[in-house]
Amino acid sequence: MAFSSRHIFSDVRGAFPCEALALLSPNSVTQNFPRSVRAARSSWSRSSFKRSRNRSQADFVASTARSGDKPTVRDSNEDRALADVILDAADDREEVVDRPPKAPERDFTGTAYVPVYVMLPLGVIDMECELVDPDGLLDQLKILKSVDVDGVMVDCWWGIVEAAAPQAYNWKGYRKLFQMVRDLKLKLQVVMSFHECGGNVGDDVHIPLPSWVTEIGKMNPDIFFTDRDGRRNSECLTWGIDKERVLRGRTAVEAYFDYMRSFRVEFDEFFEDGIISEIEIGLGPCGELRYPSYPAKHGWEYPGIGEFQCYDQYLMKSLKRAAELRGHSFWGTGPDNAGSYNSRPHETGFFRDGGDYDSYYGRFFLNWYSRVLIDHGDRILALANLAFEGSCTATKLSGIHWWYKTASHAAELTAGFYNPSNRDGYAPIAAMLKKHETALNFTCVELRTLDQHEGFPEALADPEGLVWQVLNAAWDVSIPVASENALPCYDREGYNKILENAKPRNDPDGRHLSAFTYLRLSPVLMERLNLMEFERFVKRMHGEAVSDLQLRAE
């Protein structure tokens, strides 16, 4: 993704299956359930940002020279001559950089309408569940409405709503927000966020898990994901306790279900009138269906392969049981040659070409590890469809695109995606989502493989190849596919890449994204030039004509 010249002035910091019911205690299903429930998502790479930051000064000089706008100078011959010299130098610099010609743009006029949503700031609701700066937010929402955005996405944080005590829910700030959105005739995508906010790229607030959960964690740290060295990750609960009554008499899935059911009861009117268009179910760290395999808090840096996160007592018990059933009890442990968070695949005995990942043991372990991930999604989505019967649900999958061009796909393996070069790891996930008629929300659609190679050639990344594989895995089972960008995007090059993924050229079946969610509402997006570019992008996503289409390279 390339940044345009304006970033010099921008601050970029800134009837349900029996197994579903079996997961719950009898009281979980019957209490406070509405009668009217039948009414009709880090991965992250630094490469694009680093490349863009390094080129931004040259981009600014080149774009100023192209625009024909001269610097403000005193009215004297010397100063005018000096200005001409500066502009000539800028032109020469542009030639030295040898920039490639601008790529032609595709005309999307008359193509499918893809709704565009905008993510609200992470801290739009504070820890007291009060709406932060409602007047300022209202002004920004009015601007989004003026550029024809379809709606907004908001995280409903478990750590805010059920903060103090089990089943004591506080939704007041969200009610004010939802009413504001409804008054503007916008739609809502709502995320059931069962994870901690803070410590990941783009996190500008800290929202921990509910305090009563963290208190349990102090006495029983095995409720959290754990790496081989025993380091705990409090970002979310390990899937090992999905069916363990360790949360004051409730299992994790019961706690999640009670929360979702409370939301459905509280906001029944917003479901009935269609304001809430989709519920995205958080299934792991950052709300994504993956293991927390690359946490910055444990020293991970891009493009490290990450580490397996299965060493809490509950997941290890599951692994040992699986090994015994296989008849090889000595397989009941994780690999001891898989390196560390910042290892490269070729540096490890497990992930190197011809390594143990493809041995009998390696295939057993990776099958088990990925099956735990899929089973977790299966359980929670079954209950989500019970809570939100008749509503659209979605889940988010992260784009682990680094080391995609290696045989083992090491970074995907540690995250739980069993996708080496000789196996499609996303087809089983898509099949699980199809079982629950749940849409897939995928990230990194704005990233270009060439950009990744420029920034970190050693990472052997291929975001374009990954996007193509995942989108087709979902489309092959006929589930909707939505997407969002992985990094802030304000430039035409990034928007054009999103458009190409949203509406693939010459697709014989006319497949396209069901929706796109933009990351994220900010003062930078509200700047005049950025907003104009964003409005142009929204029009093209909607299949409308734009007046300044560059149909050929300049």
Residue ranges in 301-354 assigned as alpha helix (H): 313-326
Q: At what angle do helices 528-541 and 492-502 cross, to 10 degrees?
A: 20
Q: Give the integer Cα–Cα distance in Å for 212 and 214.
A: 6
The response to whether 520 counts as a known ligand-binding position is: yes
The response to whether 214 counts as a known ligand-binding position is: no
The response to whether 485 counts as a known ligand-binding position is: yes
Catalytic residues, by residue number, are 288, 484
The response to whether 353 counts as a known ligand-binding position is: no
Strand, helix or coil for residue 154: strand
Q: Find the distance separating the first CA and the last CA of the chain, reported in whole Å.
A: 20
Are 369 and 424 spatial neighbours (Cβ–Cβ below 8 Å)?
no
Pick from 307, 318, 272: nearest CA to 411: 307
The response to whether 509 counts as a known ligand-binding position is: no
Burial track 140-159 (b if 16+ CB lie within 10 A, e otherwise): bbeebbebebbbbbbbbbbb
Are 35 and 84 spatial neighbours (Cβ–Cβ below 8 Å)?
no
Strand, helix or coil for residue 220: coil
Q: Give the integer Cα–Cα distance in Å for 70 and 73.
A: 8
The response to whether 203 counts as a known ligand-binding position is: yes
Sequence-ordered list of residues with C-beta below 8 angstroms from that of 428, at least 6 positions apart, any chain: 370, 374, 418
Are 271 and 391 spatial neighbours (Cβ–Cβ below 8 Å)?
yes
Are 123 and 130 spatial neighbours (Cβ–Cβ below 8 Å)?
no
Are 440 and 395 spatial neighbours (Cβ–Cβ below 8 Å)?
yes
The response to whether 111 counts as a known ligand-binding position is: no
The response to whether 155 counts as a known ligand-binding position is: yes
For residue 196, give both structure tokens.
């901690």
3 state SS for 254-304: HHHHHHHHHHHHHCHHHHHCCCEEEEEECCCHHHECCCCCCCHHHCCCCCC
For residue 287, give both structure tokens.
């709300």
Are 243 and 256 spatial neighbours (Cβ–Cβ below 8 Å)?
no
The response to whether 486 counts as a known ligand-binding position is: yes
Q: What is the largest CA-CA distance in the chain?
A: 90
Residue numbering of the annotated binding site for substrate: 155, 195, 203, 396, 401, 443, 485-486, 520
Residue numbering of the annotated binding site: 155, 195, 203, 396, 401, 443, 485-486, 520
